[in-house]
Chain A
Amino acid sequence: MFIAIAIVIGVASLISGFIAIHHEKLSVAIIASGMVSLFASVIFLLLAAPDVAMTEASIGSGLTTLIFFYVLNKIRQRND
């Protein structure tokens, strides 16, 4: 059961990672990267690490993504 979840989540995180690196639209890429972190936090839960999962979710997928968007936003404003 756990193995199945692990495989699914693992594959999903790799796909998200691939999208994050290869999608042309930066916003999509950033969201995909946030997804990687989200999947990672599920993985941490599987590994009996709720603390890490929480951190990854709040900092890795939350704040980091936000900062990316902030910066992207700034860059877009400048390009306008």
Chain B
Amino acid sequence: MVGPIYIIAVALGIAFIMGLFGKSLKNFTGWAMLAGLGFMTYVSGQWLLEFLNNNRAVETIYTAGFKPPYSINLQMGSYEALLTFLINVVGLLGGIYLYKDLKKTGTNAMVVFLVFIMSLNVVVMTRDMFNLFVFLEVGSIATAGLILLDKNGNALQAGMKYLIATGIIAGILLIGTIFAYYFAGSLNIDDILAANLGAAKATVIAVFLIYVSILLELKPFPANGWGIDVYTAANPGIGALVSAASATAMFYVLYKLLPLGGAEWLNYIAVIGGITFVGSNLMGTKQNNPNRLLGYSSIGQIGLLTMILGLSDILGEKLVFVAFGILISHYAAKAGLFWLSGIIKAKDIKGWAALRKSPFLLFLFGTFVFALIGFPPFPSFFGKWELIMTLATGGHWAWMTVILVGSFIEGIYLFRWLGYAIKLDHEELPDFKIEWNKFFPVWVMAIVLYAVGVYVTPMVEGGSFINYIPLMFVLFLFAIDFLPVYIKNTVSIGGIIWYMFHIYPVLEGDLLRLIFAGIFLIGGVLTLMAGYSKKGTRKGFYPMAMMMFAGLIGIIEASTLLEFFFSWELMTAGSYFLIIRGKRSMPHGYSYMLFSIAGAYAILFGFGLAFASGFDTSLAALGSISLLPTLAYTLLAVGFMTKTASLGLHIWLPGAHGEAESDVSPMVSAILLKAGVFGLMILFLYMDRASTGATNLLYVLGWVGALTTLMGNMSAAFQEDAKRLLAYSSVAQLGYILFAISIMTQLGWLAGFTYTINHFMFKAVLFLVIGGIVVKLGTHNMYEMGGMIKKMPFSFVAVLISIIVIGGIPPLSGFAGKWLFYNAILEKGWYFQGAIIFFAGIIAFLYLYKLIHSVFLGQLKDNHRNMKEISAWILIPSYVMIIGIMIFSAFPQYILKPIGNMIAPYFSSEALSWEGTKALTSFGYWDGTTVMIVVGTAFVLLLGWLVALSSKAKKIEQFNIVFAAERPHRPETTHVSYNIYAGYQKALGFLITPFVTAFWDAMSNLVLEVANWLRRIYSGSMQNYALHVVLFIVVFYLIALGGL
């Protein structure tokens, strides 16, 4: 074992030797620096391994051979080993990354770099207050020097600001240190902690001074203008180190000194951290400069970590896990992002669109963003989970809210940025060079994130159940991403089919889950089949699609809250990438993500309440929520409704589904939306329905469902875009489902199931077929289509059948749904809502007519004369679905009866009974099989008659019509379906004025305005920044000790 003291000795020795040979042997100094950093990494890594494997005692290093407090001692325990290792790794990688820049500046810069990393090591290890001060100063001076690696005026200014601010802070720390010595009689940190200085009125001032200076070093809002400027102006390679290494070291200093003042101080620390977390992220929303944005994000994350330390009493033994999970994610992601920024060299985050040129870098970027927000499988996900669960256990709702709100705000700008990188239209993508020495460190950080994420999974309660097999499959698909579509498609379909066999025995007997598993998996296979019509490699599609399906099936399989949430987030991430693939999908993917994150956090909050109610980690905990049950139910429902796109939360859907690729639309519409339905069903089944909260919630949700339907159908009727029409139709259909299950009777649920199954099938068909046609015709606008019936007869039939289902016209299963639905409404007595639904149902006919008429009937357009039927790969799955529809229509009893039996125990009365093929309610009966036979016979007879007559029909050439003398200025306006419902729009359009969109727009403007107003405190004046620092000290003093 190499003693930790050699970290200092060797680093300094090398630094001095570099000075000796520097001028003459330039290459030597570069390698010497890397060797020094490598050595430091080795020493700390070896200690880390030792602590991990052998569980040995903490090693104390006595310098000068005397015992503390008379000499300085360092400590190497497991935390020190871990943190110095992290610091040294990022130092080594940063050294590799900056190798050329450092070399250009000369040996002196390398010396400064090496000493910088060394000083952070000592800061972590030292147990002596004044030694801490000295090496903090070493670090500050080195930072001030490294800022000037990029020699520009901004860096100079930032460096000066940094020097001024840290100068004041150092002075305060010095006074605090000497008074701590005066009161405690020792400079040794352990002695000072043992002296309990927080207890006495006089001595507490020393505690305050030490706390305030350490907190200021962590750049608390608003006294952090100097820190942000450093991130902005310095070379991103330096920004990475300041963000990852310095912050890590400072964080540990705070941890070391945490017990200094006692419990009362923890509150202040938590509050300061919380304000920093939210404030800094809020201001980040207005940033366009990537480095500055990262600066805000860094400060925000450190604020979160500070807050976590402040909450350490509450977190208890979970503290270490939570802090580690969030710290390591911040560390790796921030370093990686800064390094990426140095590769791209864009002055504006829009310039990151250049990343598209390198899919690997884009992958890394996505990894870092998702890790920062806390998505699975990254450690921050587990950290946040444990954090929320533990806080909920203690009943700290306010802190939970702060954390979730702050994280959401962080998502606002990170996902905007990611969206730019993936999709932004940019005339000129700036060129960037990828040098291996810059690329390699970024990669390492991404691997760290994944590896640590998987490594910590079993440490979370219930984490060991998480199924990583689907994720391995995703990874495998990444690995074969270079292969052509048909291979990957086959592999993906094969994977899903294999999983079906795998999961069937698991779910057998659990019909609810089996149905949804069927929707997700069968739907997955069928929609994927359409992928055979695509050519090329379709980069990135399959891993993401499989990630979504992995998440979906994970939700089904989940037996614990954690598994459920893990899969939920996984599904969100995968679907986000699928949605944003569409041509004009950037804003829609963005809003989808924001709603999803907000929804996920609502769910997380609800899960927290559920867990805290009985310390039950299984999903059954939802059934015994005793803490704020109404709030919990509401949050969970809202969370699930972000996926079902209910009124108010729907604005992401039309764009997201409408603009998605032709086979993605059915995936996200027919399949993905059902995840929300599944969540709602689980919630409704578990929750305590008798409670007033639940009853009221269900009543409200019923209304929401009804209004969603109305709004969805009306909006659909006024669409000119075929896919958006379908998207709004989905909104409406999900409204029916929400309404139906909110009724909470057996009939209602049966209706809900029927609608769910129906919508799954017909929406898949419609989106597949219409999507195929849209691609084929090259336009979304229905008024540019027409007469396709002859060109695409199979498509026509498919769409026709689907429309019959939506319309609820006998004999197809849509009617079964409607019949059950109205029975349920009558039984429940929700007449008024029922009326709205009924009215909405009429409006549905308007858009259905519009859809089939303007696409298939009417005049064939000149430019479409040579069109052929859409790809068989689209038609095959569509017709499989149609067969499904037919079977379900003819023999509904085979599905509805078991469902009825399954849900019967949950409901007081059995409202639906079966007599053979006949379904009976108190209001009447319906026999799907008979109806099918009768209508089918009639249809065949009529068809035969028509065919017989058709020989006599007179053929009329197209355009054999008499035009008025003029040709209209815009020919499409003469299309029959152009603005077809202008009259209705005049009469009823006010109902769908985009209030909701306007509301969310106003909300986002409000956030941005607040951010803009808030950031004016960063006036750029270094003196003002110094003033902020002093102001922070004084205000903190007055609040904390003003009463003395």
In the complex, A touching B (Cβ < 8 A): no
Footprint of A on B, CB under 8 Å?
Answer: none
Footprint of B on A, CB under 8 Å?
Answer: none
